[in-house]
Structure 1
Amino acid sequence: MTWDRVSLATLIFEKISSEKEQLKQRFSASQNGIGHLWLDDLLPDEIAENIAKVFPEPNQMVLKKSIRENKYIAAQMDLYNPLLEEIIYAFQDKRVVAVIGEICNVKHPIPDEYLYAGGISLMGSKQFLNPHLDNSHDKDRNLWRVLNLLYYVTPNWKEEYGGNLELWPNGLDQKPITIHSKFNRLAIMETHNNSLHSVSPVVFEGYRRCVSNYYFSDSPLLASDSFHVTSFRGRPENKLSDLILRTDTFLRMCLRKIFKKGIKENPHVYKKKEN
Protein backbone atom coordinates (compact mmCIF):
# COMPACT_ATOMS: atom_id res chain seq x y z
CA MET A 1 0.00 0.00 0.00
CA THR A 2 1.17 3.52 -0.80
CA TRP A 3 0.95 5.96 2.07
CA ASP A 4 0.60 9.65 1.27
CA ARG A 5 0.71 12.63 3.62
CA VAL A 6 -3.06 12.85 3.96
CA SER A 7 -3.54 9.22 5.01
CA LEU A 8 -0.52 9.38 7.31
CA ALA A 9 -1.81 12.62 8.83
CA THR A 10 -5.19 10.99 9.46
CA LEU A 11 -3.52 8.19 11.42
CA ILE A 12 -1.38 10.66 13.37
CA PHE A 13 -4.34 12.92 14.12
CA GLU A 14 -6.49 10.02 15.30
CA LYS A 15 -3.74 8.65 17.55
CA ILE A 16 -2.98 12.03 19.12
CA SER A 17 -6.68 12.83 19.54
CA SER A 18 -7.30 9.51 21.30
CA GLU A 19 -4.82 10.49 24.02
CA LYS A 20 -5.28 14.25 23.93
CA GLU A 21 -6.24 14.77 27.56
CA GLN A 22 -3.35 12.69 28.91
CA LEU A 23 -0.94 14.52 26.61
CA LYS A 24 -2.28 17.88 27.77
CA GLN A 25 -1.68 16.91 31.38
CA ARG A 26 1.83 15.64 30.65
CA PHE A 27 2.78 18.79 28.80
CA SER A 28 1.23 21.14 31.37
CA ALA A 29 3.04 19.41 34.23
CA SER A 30 6.41 20.19 32.61
CA GLN A 31 5.80 23.77 31.52
CA ASN A 32 7.56 25.37 34.50
CA GLY A 33 10.78 24.22 32.85
CA ILE A 34 10.75 23.01 29.28
CA GLY A 35 7.29 21.89 28.25
CA HIS A 36 7.48 18.47 26.66
CA LEU A 37 5.64 15.22 26.01
CA TRP A 38 6.05 11.95 24.18
CA LEU A 39 3.61 9.56 22.55
CA ASP A 40 4.42 5.94 21.76
CA ASP A 41 3.13 3.76 18.91
CA LEU A 42 2.29 6.81 16.83
CA LEU A 43 1.75 4.81 13.64
CA PRO A 44 1.21 1.11 12.91
CA ASP A 45 4.60 -0.59 13.29
CA GLU A 46 4.63 -1.70 9.66
CA ILE A 47 4.53 1.91 8.46
CA ALA A 48 7.17 3.08 10.93
CA GLU A 49 9.42 0.18 9.88
CA ASN A 50 9.00 1.12 6.22
CA ILE A 51 9.96 4.71 7.00
CA ALA A 52 13.16 3.44 8.63
CA LYS A 53 13.91 1.14 5.68
CA VAL A 54 13.80 3.94 3.10
CA PHE A 55 16.14 6.30 4.97
CA PRO A 56 19.14 7.20 2.82
CA GLU A 57 22.61 5.91 3.61
CA PRO A 58 24.96 8.31 5.43
CA ASN A 59 26.93 9.01 2.23
CA GLN A 60 23.72 10.31 0.64
CA MET A 61 23.23 12.89 3.39
CA VAL A 62 25.07 15.99 4.63
CA LEU A 63 27.55 15.43 7.44
CA LYS A 64 27.60 18.22 10.02
CA LYS A 65 30.72 17.64 12.09
CA SER A 66 32.24 20.18 14.45
CA ILE A 67 32.76 20.84 18.13
CA ARG A 68 29.05 21.74 18.23
CA GLU A 69 27.59 18.57 16.69
CA ASN A 70 28.25 15.43 14.70
CA LYS A 71 25.33 14.06 12.69
CA TYR A 72 23.96 13.45 9.20
CA ILE A 73 21.06 15.60 8.02
CA ALA A 74 18.92 16.14 4.92
CA ALA A 75 16.21 18.63 3.98
CA GLN A 76 16.17 18.39 0.16
CA MET A 77 13.51 15.72 0.28
CA ASP A 78 12.95 15.26 -3.46
CA LEU A 79 16.32 13.44 -3.55
CA TYR A 80 14.99 10.54 -1.49
CA ASN A 81 12.24 7.96 -1.29
CA PRO A 82 8.86 9.78 -1.49
CA LEU A 83 7.67 8.19 1.77
CA LEU A 84 10.11 10.39 3.70
CA GLU A 85 8.65 13.59 2.29
CA GLU A 86 5.12 12.32 2.91
CA ILE A 87 5.74 11.56 6.60
CA ILE A 88 7.44 14.91 7.17
CA TYR A 89 4.56 16.85 5.65
CA ALA A 90 1.97 14.69 7.40
CA PHE A 91 3.00 16.57 10.55
CA GLN A 92 2.16 19.80 8.73
CA ASP A 93 -1.43 18.76 7.98
CA LYS A 94 -3.76 21.41 9.43
CA ARG A 95 -5.54 18.84 11.61
CA VAL A 96 -2.30 17.63 13.18
CA VAL A 97 -0.95 21.16 13.64
CA ALA A 98 -4.18 22.29 15.29
CA VAL A 99 -4.43 19.43 17.79
CA ILE A 100 -0.75 19.72 18.77
CA GLY A 101 -1.20 23.47 19.20
CA GLU A 102 -4.16 22.84 21.48
CA ILE A 103 -2.27 20.27 23.56
CA CYS A 104 0.79 22.51 23.90
CA ASN A 105 -1.20 25.71 24.45
CA VAL A 106 0.18 27.40 21.34
CA LYS A 107 -2.29 29.60 19.50
CA HIS A 108 -2.16 29.37 15.70
CA PRO A 109 1.06 27.37 15.26
CA ILE A 110 2.56 27.58 11.78
CA PRO A 111 4.38 24.63 10.20
CA ASP A 112 7.51 25.20 8.12
CA GLU A 113 7.19 24.08 4.51
CA TYR A 114 10.87 24.91 3.90
CA LEU A 115 12.09 22.57 6.67
CA TYR A 116 14.53 25.14 8.04
CA ALA A 117 16.72 22.93 10.29
CA GLY A 118 14.08 20.20 9.95
CA GLY A 119 13.86 17.14 7.69
CA ILE A 120 15.60 13.88 8.56
CA SER A 121 18.71 12.97 10.52
CA LEU A 122 20.96 10.00 11.21
CA MET A 123 23.28 9.58 14.17
CA GLY A 124 25.76 6.71 14.42
CA SER A 125 28.54 5.63 16.74
CA LYS A 126 30.25 8.54 18.57
CA GLN A 127 27.95 11.12 17.00
CA PHE A 128 26.23 13.70 19.22
CA LEU A 129 24.49 17.03 19.50
CA ASN A 130 25.83 19.27 22.26
CA PRO A 131 23.51 21.22 24.59
CA HIS A 132 22.03 24.17 22.71
CA LEU A 133 19.16 26.57 22.17
CA ASP A 134 17.55 26.35 18.75
CA ASN A 135 17.64 29.44 16.56
CA SER A 136 14.76 31.59 17.80
CA HIS A 137 13.26 32.35 14.37
CA ASP A 138 12.40 30.99 10.94
CA LYS A 139 14.71 31.36 7.94
CA ASP A 140 13.38 34.84 7.10
CA ARG A 141 13.44 35.97 10.75
CA ASN A 142 9.73 36.80 10.66
CA LEU A 143 8.28 34.10 12.93
CA TRP A 144 9.21 32.70 16.33
CA ARG A 145 10.19 29.04 16.65
CA VAL A 146 7.94 27.53 19.32
CA LEU A 147 7.75 23.72 19.05
CA ASN A 148 10.16 20.97 18.04
CA LEU A 149 8.66 17.65 16.85
CA LEU A 150 10.90 14.58 16.75
CA TYR A 151 9.63 11.27 15.41
CA TYR A 152 11.97 8.31 16.03
CA VAL A 153 11.80 5.34 13.67
CA THR A 154 14.73 3.00 14.43
CA PRO A 155 13.41 -0.47 15.33
CA ASN A 156 14.76 -2.00 18.55
CA TRP A 157 16.69 1.13 19.56
CA LYS A 158 17.53 0.73 23.26
CA GLU A 159 18.00 3.63 25.65
CA GLU A 160 21.51 2.47 26.53
CA TYR A 161 22.55 2.94 22.88
CA GLY A 162 22.53 6.73 23.38
CA GLY A 163 21.20 9.16 20.82
CA ASN A 164 18.48 10.19 23.28
CA LEU A 165 16.90 13.61 23.68
CA GLU A 166 18.10 15.43 26.80
CA LEU A 167 16.36 18.45 28.31
CA TRP A 168 18.21 20.73 30.74
CA PRO A 169 15.47 22.83 32.41
CA ASN A 170 17.68 23.57 35.43
CA GLY A 171 20.85 24.26 33.50
CA LEU A 172 23.97 22.19 32.95
CA ASP A 173 24.74 21.90 36.67
CA GLN A 174 21.76 19.58 37.16
CA LYS A 175 20.95 16.20 35.61
CA PRO A 176 18.97 16.39 32.37
CA ILE A 177 15.60 14.85 31.67
CA THR A 178 16.27 12.00 29.23
CA ILE A 179 13.67 11.01 26.64
CA HIS A 180 14.50 7.68 25.03
CA SER A 181 14.56 7.86 21.22
CA LYS A 182 12.35 4.78 21.17
CA PHE A 183 11.04 3.28 17.95
CA ASN A 184 7.74 4.79 16.77
CA ARG A 185 7.80 7.50 19.47
CA LEU A 186 6.90 11.14 18.88
CA ALA A 187 8.56 13.63 21.22
CA ILE A 188 7.50 17.29 21.34
CA MET A 189 9.26 20.08 23.21
CA GLU A 190 8.96 23.84 23.55
CA THR A 191 11.63 26.06 22.07
CA HIS A 192 12.33 29.37 23.80
CA ASN A 193 15.21 31.23 25.44
CA ASN A 194 15.51 28.64 28.20
CA SER A 195 14.92 25.38 26.30
CA LEU A 196 18.44 24.00 26.50
CA HIS A 197 18.54 20.49 25.01
CA SER A 198 20.95 17.98 23.48
CA VAL A 199 21.29 14.49 22.06
CA SER A 200 23.47 12.11 24.04
CA PRO A 201 26.44 10.51 22.24
CA VAL A 202 25.62 7.30 20.39
CA VAL A 203 27.54 4.33 21.82
CA PHE A 204 26.25 1.65 19.45
CA GLU A 205 27.27 0.43 16.00
CA GLY A 206 24.04 1.40 14.31
CA TYR A 207 22.08 4.49 13.28
CA ARG A 208 19.34 6.34 15.14
CA ARG A 209 16.85 7.69 12.58
CA CYS A 210 14.69 10.72 13.21
CA VAL A 211 12.08 12.75 11.32
CA SER A 212 12.03 16.41 12.43
CA ASN A 213 9.61 19.31 12.16
CA TYR A 214 9.37 22.75 13.73
CA TYR A 215 6.30 24.88 14.31
CA PHE A 216 6.48 28.66 14.42
CA SER A 217 4.25 31.48 15.67
CA ASP A 218 3.74 35.21 15.31
CA SER A 219 4.54 35.51 19.03
CA PRO A 220 7.23 33.97 21.25
CA LEU A 221 6.31 31.51 24.00
CA LEU A 222 7.85 33.64 26.75
CA ALA A 223 7.56 37.41 27.17
CA SER A 224 11.28 37.44 27.94
CA ASP A 225 12.27 35.69 24.69
CA SER A 226 14.66 37.53 22.39
CA PHE A 227 16.34 36.83 19.09
CA HIS A 228 19.27 34.41 19.22
CA VAL A 229 21.25 32.24 16.84
CA THR A 230 21.57 28.53 17.53
CA SER A 231 23.53 28.73 20.77
CA PHE A 232 25.72 25.79 21.79
CA ARG A 233 27.26 24.83 25.11
CA GLY A 234 29.68 22.09 26.10
CA ARG A 235 28.51 19.11 28.10
CA PRO A 236 29.05 19.54 31.87
CA GLU A 237 32.22 17.44 31.83
CA ASN A 238 33.73 19.45 28.96
CA LYS A 239 34.61 22.85 30.44
CA LEU A 240 37.01 23.86 27.67
CA SER A 241 34.47 23.01 24.96
CA ASP A 242 31.89 25.05 26.84
CA LEU A 243 34.15 28.11 26.89
CA ILE A 244 34.90 27.78 23.17
CA LEU A 245 31.24 27.31 22.26
CA ARG A 246 30.07 30.27 24.35
CA THR A 247 32.65 32.45 22.62
CA ASP A 248 31.50 31.10 19.26
CA THR A 249 27.89 32.02 20.04
CA PHE A 250 28.90 35.52 21.14
CA LEU A 251 30.79 36.15 17.90
CA ARG A 252 27.97 34.81 15.72
CA MET A 253 25.47 37.00 17.58
CA CYS A 254 27.66 40.03 16.93
CA LEU A 255 27.66 39.21 13.21
CA ARG A 256 23.88 38.87 13.16
CA LYS A 257 23.51 42.35 14.61
CA ILE A 258 25.19 43.59 11.45
CA PHE A 259 23.83 41.04 8.96
CA LYS A 260 20.21 40.33 9.94
CA LYS A 261 19.95 37.09 7.94
CA GLY A 262 23.57 36.07 8.29
CA ILE A 263 26.52 36.39 5.93
CA LYS A 264 25.38 33.51 3.74
CA GLU A 265 22.12 31.65 3.19
CA ASN A 266 21.59 28.67 5.48
CA PRO A 267 21.73 25.59 3.20
CA HIS A 268 19.56 23.50 5.54
CA VAL A 269 16.26 24.23 3.79
CA TYR A 270 14.09 22.47 1.22
CA LYS A 271 14.58 24.31 -2.06
CA LYS A 272 11.44 23.35 -3.93
CA LYS A 273 11.27 23.47 -7.68
CA GLU A 274 8.95 26.15 -9.02
CA ASN A 275 6.02 24.95 -11.11
Structure 2
Amino acid sequence: MSFVPLLEEMDLPDSPLLNNLAQEFSTARPFPHLVMDRMFSHALLNEALQAFNLDHVNNINVFQNQLQSKRSTSTQSAMPAEIQRYFDIVNGAPFLRLLTRLTGITNLLPDPYLYGGGMHEVAGQGHFQVHTDFRHHPHTCLENRLALLTYLNHDWKPEYGGQLELWQNNPSRPVRKIVPQFGRSVLMLQSPDSWHGHPQAAQAGYLRRTLITYFYTAPKIKTDRTAQNTIYLPNSRQSTMQIAEIFIRNILPHFVLDTARWIRRRKRRQNCK
Protein backbone atom coordinates (compact mmCIF):
# COMPACT_ATOMS: atom_id res chain seq x y z
CA MET A 1 0.00 0.00 0.00
CA SER A 2 1.32 3.42 -0.94
CA PHE A 3 1.39 6.01 1.82
CA VAL A 4 1.23 8.73 -0.90
CA PRO A 5 -1.09 7.63 -3.72
CA LEU A 6 -0.14 10.68 -5.82
CA LEU A 7 3.40 9.31 -6.17
CA GLU A 8 2.02 6.59 -8.44
CA GLU A 9 0.94 9.33 -10.88
CA MET A 10 4.61 10.32 -11.27
CA ASP A 11 5.15 7.13 -13.30
CA LEU A 12 2.77 8.40 -15.97
CA PRO A 13 4.42 10.48 -18.71
CA ASP A 14 1.58 13.02 -18.78
CA SER A 15 -0.75 12.55 -15.81
CA PRO A 16 -4.03 14.50 -16.23
CA LEU A 17 -4.45 14.51 -12.46
CA LEU A 18 -1.05 16.09 -11.82
CA ASN A 19 -1.59 18.52 -14.69
CA ASN A 20 -4.87 19.66 -13.17
CA LEU A 21 -3.36 20.03 -9.70
CA ALA A 22 -0.45 22.04 -11.07
CA GLN A 23 -2.87 24.32 -12.87
CA GLU A 24 -4.97 24.69 -9.73
CA PHE A 25 -1.89 25.59 -7.67
CA SER A 26 -0.68 28.27 -10.06
CA THR A 27 -4.07 29.96 -10.46
CA ALA A 28 -5.32 29.75 -6.87
CA ARG A 29 -6.23 32.94 -5.06
CA PRO A 30 -5.23 34.89 -3.04
CA PHE A 31 -1.84 33.20 -3.64
CA PRO A 32 -0.77 29.86 -5.12
CA HIS A 33 -1.89 26.92 -3.01
CA LEU A 34 -3.55 23.51 -3.12
CA VAL A 35 -6.06 21.88 -0.79
CA MET A 36 -5.93 18.09 -1.12
CA ASP A 37 -7.92 15.47 0.75
CA ARG A 38 -6.36 11.99 1.08
CA MET A 39 -2.96 13.08 -0.20
CA PHE A 40 -1.66 10.63 2.40
CA SER A 41 -3.18 7.28 3.30
CA HIS A 42 -5.48 7.26 6.32
CA ALA A 43 -3.49 4.33 7.73
CA LEU A 44 -0.36 6.51 7.92
CA LEU A 45 -2.22 9.45 9.45
CA ASN A 46 -4.25 7.38 11.91
CA GLU A 47 -1.04 5.93 13.31
CA ALA A 48 0.41 9.44 13.55
CA LEU A 49 -2.67 10.70 15.39
CA GLN A 50 -2.57 7.84 17.89
CA ALA A 51 1.06 8.77 18.69
CA PHE A 52 0.37 12.52 18.84
CA ASN A 53 0.93 13.54 22.46
CA LEU A 54 3.08 16.61 23.07
CA ASP A 55 3.16 15.84 26.79
CA HIS A 56 5.42 12.90 25.96
CA VAL A 57 7.78 14.80 23.61
CA ASN A 58 10.92 16.61 24.74
CA ASN A 59 11.82 20.27 24.05
CA ILE A 60 8.36 21.64 23.36
CA ASN A 61 7.82 25.23 22.25
CA VAL A 62 4.99 27.09 24.00
CA PHE A 63 3.64 30.24 22.36
CA GLN A 64 1.25 32.20 24.54
CA ASN A 65 0.71 35.87 23.68
CA GLN A 66 -1.79 38.19 22.05
CA LEU A 67 -0.90 37.00 18.54
CA GLN A 68 -0.76 33.24 18.95
CA SER A 69 -1.58 30.51 21.41
CA LYS A 70 -0.24 27.02 20.63
CA ARG A 71 2.38 24.37 21.37
CA SER A 72 4.79 22.76 18.92
CA THR A 73 7.87 20.61 18.70
CA SER A 74 11.32 22.18 18.24
CA THR A 75 14.40 21.28 16.21
CA GLN A 76 15.59 19.31 19.26
CA SER A 77 12.43 17.26 19.69
CA ALA A 78 12.48 13.48 19.25
CA MET A 79 9.34 12.56 17.31
CA PRO A 80 7.34 9.39 17.95
CA ALA A 81 8.22 6.78 15.32
CA GLU A 82 4.75 6.88 13.75
CA ILE A 83 5.02 10.65 13.21
CA GLN A 84 8.65 10.55 12.14
CA ARG A 85 7.56 8.15 9.36
CA TYR A 86 5.37 10.92 7.90
CA PHE A 87 8.23 13.43 7.97
CA ASP A 88 10.67 10.92 6.47
CA ILE A 89 8.27 10.49 3.55
CA VAL A 90 7.74 14.19 2.84
CA ASN A 91 11.46 14.94 3.15
CA GLY A 92 12.44 12.17 0.71
CA ALA A 93 13.47 12.65 -2.92
CA PRO A 94 10.33 11.06 -4.48
CA PHE A 95 8.07 13.46 -2.58
CA LEU A 96 10.29 16.44 -3.42
CA ARG A 97 10.00 15.54 -7.11
CA LEU A 98 6.22 15.40 -6.70
CA LEU A 99 6.24 18.90 -5.19
CA THR A 100 8.28 20.16 -8.13
CA ARG A 101 5.73 18.62 -10.50
CA LEU A 102 2.88 20.37 -8.68
CA THR A 103 4.49 23.78 -8.19
CA GLY A 104 7.16 24.14 -10.87
CA ILE A 105 9.77 24.95 -8.21
CA THR A 106 12.95 22.99 -8.95
CA ASN A 107 15.82 21.88 -6.71
CA LEU A 108 13.70 21.82 -3.56
CA LEU A 109 15.47 20.99 -0.32
CA PRO A 110 13.98 19.57 2.89
CA ASP A 111 14.74 20.52 6.47
CA PRO A 112 14.97 17.26 8.45
CA TYR A 113 15.28 19.30 11.68
CA LEU A 114 11.82 20.81 10.99
CA TYR A 115 12.54 24.38 12.04
CA GLY A 116 9.15 26.04 12.52
CA GLY A 117 7.42 22.79 11.60
CA GLY A 118 6.84 19.43 13.23
CA MET A 119 3.87 18.70 15.48
CA HIS A 120 1.58 21.69 16.18
CA GLU A 121 -1.29 21.66 18.64
CA VAL A 122 -3.86 24.36 19.36
CA ALA A 123 -6.07 23.84 22.42
CA GLY A 124 -9.44 25.44 23.13
CA GLN A 125 -9.35 29.22 22.54
CA GLY A 126 -5.99 28.84 20.78
CA HIS A 127 -5.37 30.96 17.70
CA PHE A 128 -2.73 32.29 15.31
CA GLN A 129 -3.30 35.75 13.85
CA VAL A 130 -2.89 36.35 10.11
CA HIS A 131 0.79 36.47 9.17
CA THR A 132 3.42 35.50 6.63
CA ASP A 133 6.09 32.96 7.53
CA PHE A 134 9.84 33.48 7.83
CA ARG A 135 11.53 34.03 4.46
CA HIS A 136 14.89 32.37 5.19
CA HIS A 137 15.93 29.53 7.46
CA PRO A 138 17.81 31.17 10.36
CA HIS A 139 20.56 28.54 10.43
CA THR A 140 21.04 27.40 6.82
CA CYS A 141 19.97 30.71 5.20
CA LEU A 142 18.02 28.72 2.60
CA GLU A 143 14.98 30.46 1.08
CA ASN A 144 11.60 29.27 2.34
CA ARG A 145 9.52 28.37 -0.74
CA LEU A 146 6.70 26.03 0.30
CA ALA A 147 4.75 25.03 3.40
CA LEU A 148 2.85 21.76 3.73
CA LEU A 149 0.21 21.31 6.43
CA THR A 150 -1.58 18.02 7.11
CA TYR A 151 -4.45 17.96 9.59
CA LEU A 152 -5.19 15.16 12.08
CA ASN A 153 -8.62 16.23 13.36
CA HIS A 154 -11.40 13.67 12.98
CA ASP A 155 -14.92 15.03 12.43
CA TRP A 156 -13.84 18.67 12.73
CA LYS A 157 -16.73 21.00 11.90
CA PRO A 158 -16.67 24.68 10.87
CA GLU A 159 -18.44 25.70 14.05
CA TYR A 160 -15.45 24.41 16.06
CA GLY A 161 -13.43 27.41 14.79
CA GLY A 162 -9.74 27.17 13.97
CA GLN A 163 -10.26 27.34 10.21
CA LEU A 164 -7.18 28.17 8.15
CA GLU A 165 -7.81 31.52 6.49
CA LEU A 166 -5.96 32.71 3.38
CA TRP A 167 -5.99 36.49 3.14
CA GLN A 168 -5.33 39.11 0.54
CA ASN A 169 -3.82 42.49 1.33
CA ASN A 170 -5.23 45.81 0.12
CA PRO A 171 -7.97 45.51 1.05
CA SER A 172 -7.24 43.11 3.88
CA ARG A 173 -9.82 40.34 3.89
CA PRO A 174 -10.03 36.53 3.93
CA VAL A 175 -10.44 34.99 0.47
CA ARG A 176 -10.62 31.33 1.47
CA LYS A 177 -11.38 29.45 4.68
CA ILE A 178 -10.27 25.83 5.05
CA VAL A 179 -11.71 23.48 7.68
CA PRO A 180 -8.82 21.50 9.28
CA GLN A 181 -10.41 18.09 8.73
CA PHE A 182 -8.57 14.81 9.17
CA GLY A 183 -6.52 13.83 6.11
CA ARG A 184 -6.67 17.28 4.52
CA SER A 185 -3.36 18.72 3.33
CA VAL A 186 -2.65 22.30 2.30
CA LEU A 187 0.37 23.15 0.13
CA MET A 188 1.14 26.89 0.12
CA LEU A 189 3.63 29.06 -1.70
CA GLN A 190 5.76 31.08 0.70
CA SER A 191 6.08 34.75 -0.28
CA PRO A 192 5.53 38.26 1.14
CA ASP A 193 1.94 37.97 -0.13
CA SER A 194 1.14 34.60 1.48
CA TRP A 195 -0.98 35.92 4.34
CA HIS A 196 -2.59 33.17 6.38
CA GLY A 197 -3.57 32.14 9.90
CA HIS A 198 -6.45 30.89 12.02
CA PRO A 199 -7.51 34.04 13.87
CA GLN A 200 -10.83 32.52 14.94
CA ALA A 201 -10.12 30.70 18.19
CA ALA A 202 -10.69 26.96 18.39
CA GLN A 203 -13.68 25.98 20.47
CA ALA A 204 -13.02 24.95 24.06
CA GLY A 205 -12.73 21.20 24.52
CA TYR A 206 -11.19 20.53 21.08
CA LEU A 207 -7.57 20.00 20.05
CA ARG A 208 -6.49 21.17 16.60
CA ARG A 209 -3.50 19.06 15.53
CA THR A 210 -1.34 19.63 12.47
CA LEU A 211 1.86 18.25 10.93
CA ILE A 212 3.82 21.07 9.27
CA THR A 213 6.83 20.99 6.94
CA TYR A 214 8.73 23.67 5.03
CA PHE A 215 10.68 23.26 1.81
CA TYR A 216 13.54 25.42 0.59
CA THR A 217 15.77 26.36 -2.32
CA ALA A 218 19.33 27.65 -2.23
CA PRO A 219 19.67 31.40 -2.84
CA LYS A 220 20.77 32.35 -6.33
CA ILE A 221 24.27 33.72 -5.94
CA LYS A 222 27.29 33.84 -8.22
CA THR A 223 29.97 31.36 -7.21
CA ASP A 224 33.55 30.79 -8.26
CA ARG A 225 33.73 28.11 -10.94
CA THR A 226 36.50 26.39 -8.97
CA ALA A 227 33.96 25.70 -6.24
CA GLN A 228 32.01 23.52 -8.72
CA ASN A 229 34.93 21.31 -9.73
CA THR A 230 36.98 18.56 -8.09
CA ILE A 231 40.35 19.89 -6.96
CA TYR A 232 43.29 17.47 -6.97
CA LEU A 233 46.36 17.64 -4.74
CA PRO A 234 49.69 16.89 -6.50
CA ASN A 235 52.07 14.65 -4.55
CA SER A 236 55.22 12.60 -4.98
CA ARG A 237 53.36 9.30 -5.44
CA GLN A 238 51.77 10.44 -8.71
CA SER A 239 53.11 9.82 -12.19
CA THR A 240 54.40 12.60 -14.40
CA MET A 241 51.25 12.39 -16.52
CA GLN A 242 49.02 12.66 -13.44
CA ILE A 243 50.90 15.72 -12.17
CA ALA A 244 50.71 17.30 -15.62
CA GLU A 245 46.96 16.72 -15.75
CA ILE A 246 46.52 18.30 -12.32
CA PHE A 247 48.61 21.29 -13.41
CA ILE A 248 46.50 21.75 -16.55
CA ARG A 249 43.23 21.48 -14.63
CA ASN A 250 44.32 23.99 -11.98
CA ILE A 251 45.99 26.55 -14.25
CA LEU A 252 44.12 26.68 -17.56
CA PRO A 253 41.08 28.96 -17.75
CA HIS A 254 37.81 27.05 -17.42
CA PHE A 255 36.57 28.11 -20.83
CA VAL A 256 39.60 26.40 -22.42
CA LEU A 257 38.82 23.14 -20.62
CA ASP A 258 35.13 23.42 -21.49
CA THR A 259 36.03 23.92 -25.15
CA ALA A 260 38.35 20.92 -25.12
CA ARG A 261 35.63 18.74 -23.60
CA TRP A 262 33.13 19.94 -26.23
CA ILE A 263 35.57 19.05 -29.05
CA ARG A 264 36.15 15.58 -27.60
CA ARG A 265 32.41 14.90 -27.29
CA ARG A 266 31.82 16.08 -30.86
CA LYS A 267 34.56 13.78 -32.21
CA ARG A 268 33.08 10.82 -30.36
CA ARG A 269 29.65 11.47 -31.86
CA GLN A 270 31.16 11.70 -35.35
CA ASN A 271 33.00 8.41 -34.87
CA CYS A 272 29.76 6.70 -33.90
CA LYS A 273 28.02 7.69 -37.17
TM-score (norm 2): 0.70
Answer whether contact 1:162 1:204 (CA < 8 A) is retained. Answer: no
Q: Indicate the residue corresponding to 1:56 in structure 2.
A: 53
Deviation at 1:15, TM superposition (A): 7.0
What letter corresponds to residue 24 of structure 1 in structure 2? A
Deviation at 1:85, TM superposition (A): 1.1
Higher deviation after alignment, 101-110 or 122-131? 101-110
Deviation at 1:131, TM superposition (A): 1.0
CA deviation profile, 1:210-262 (whole Å, cap 9, x unmatched)? 11100011248xxxxxxxxxxxxxxxxxxxxxxxxxxxxxxxxxxxxxxxxxx
What letter corresponds to residue 95 of structure 1 in structure 2? P
User: 2-side partners of 1:205 and 1:68: how far apart?
Assistant: 21
Higher deviation after alignment, 55-64 or 22-31? 55-64
Deviation at 1:179, TM superposition (A): 1.6
Q: Indicate the residue corresponding to 1:37 in structure 2.
A: 34
Name structure 1 gaps, 5 residues minimum. 221-275
Deviation at 1:16, TM superposition (A): 8.1
- Larger radius of gyration, structure 1 or 2? 2
What letter corresponds to residue 213 of structure 2 in structure 1? N
| 1:122 paired to 2:116 | no
Q: Indicate the residue corresponding to 2:23 in structure 1.
A: 25
CA deviation profile, 1:180-233 (whole Å, cap 9, x unmatched)? 21110110101111111112321241111111100011248xxxxxxxxxxxxx
- Equivalent residue runs for 1:44-83 within 5 Å: 44-58=41-55, 60=57, 61-76=60-75, 79-83=78-82
Q: Indicate the residue corresponding to 1:210 in structure 2.
A: 210
Q: Indicate the residue corresponding to 2:244 in structure 1.
A: none
Higher deviation after alignment, 41-50 or 183-192? 41-50
> How has the CA–CA distance of structure 1 residues 176 and 16 changed in structure 2, closer, same or farther, with 3 Å as cutoff?
farther
User: 1-side partners of 2:76 and 2:48: how far apart?
Assistant: 13
> How has the CA–CA distance of structure 1 residues 147 and 173 changed in structure 2, closer, same or farther, with 3 Å as cutoff?
same
> How has the CA–CA distance of structure 1 residues 202 and 171 changed in structure 2, closer, same or farther, with 3 Å as cutoff?
farther
Deviation at 1:57, TM superposition (A): 4.1
The count of corresponding residues between Structure 1 and Structure 2 is: 213
Deviation at 1:67, TM superposition (A): 1.7
CA deviation profile, 1:93-137 (whole Å, cap 9, x unmatched)? 111111112211212111111211011101111001111111110
Q: Indicate the residue corresponding to 2:100 in structure 1.
A: 101
SS in 1 for 2:46: helix
TM-score (norm 1): 0.70
Q: Indicate the residue corresponding to 1:134 in structure 2.
A: 133
Q: Indicate the residue corresponding to 2:7 in structure 1.
A: 13
Higher deviation after alignment, 147-156 or 76-85? 76-85
User: 2-side partners of 1:151 and 1:43: how far apart?
Assistant: 9
User: 2-side partners of 1:114 and 1:171: how far apart?
Assistant: 35
Answer whether contact 1:43 1:184 (CA < 8 A) is retained. Answer: yes
Higher deviation after alignment, 46-55 or 208-217? 46-55
Answer whether contact 1:58 1:122 (CA < 8 A) is retained. Answer: no
User: 2-side partners of 1:161 and 1:92: how far apart?
Assistant: 31
| CA RMSD of superposed structures (Å) | 2.5
What letter corresponds to residue 89 of structure 2 in structure 1? A
> How has the CA–CA distance of structure 1 residues 172 and 58 changed in structure 2, closer, same or farther, with 3 Å as cutoff?
farther
SS in 2 for 1:42: coil
Name structure 2 gaps, 5 residues minimum. 221-273
SS in 2 for 1:176: strand
**RCO higher in structure (CA 8 A, sep ≥6):** 1
User: 2-side partners of 1:109 and 1:103: how far apart?
Assistant: 12
Q: Indicate the residue corresponding to 1:179 in structure 2.
A: 178
Q: Indicate the residue corresponding to 2:238 in structure 1.
A: none
> How has the CA–CA distance of structure 1 residues 127 and 158 changed in structure 2, closer, same or farther, with 3 Å as cutoff?
same
Answer whether contact 2:18 2:101 (CA < 8 A) is retained. Answer: no
Q: Indicate the residue corresponding to 1:244 in structure 2.
A: none
Deviation at 1:68, TM superposition (A): 2.1
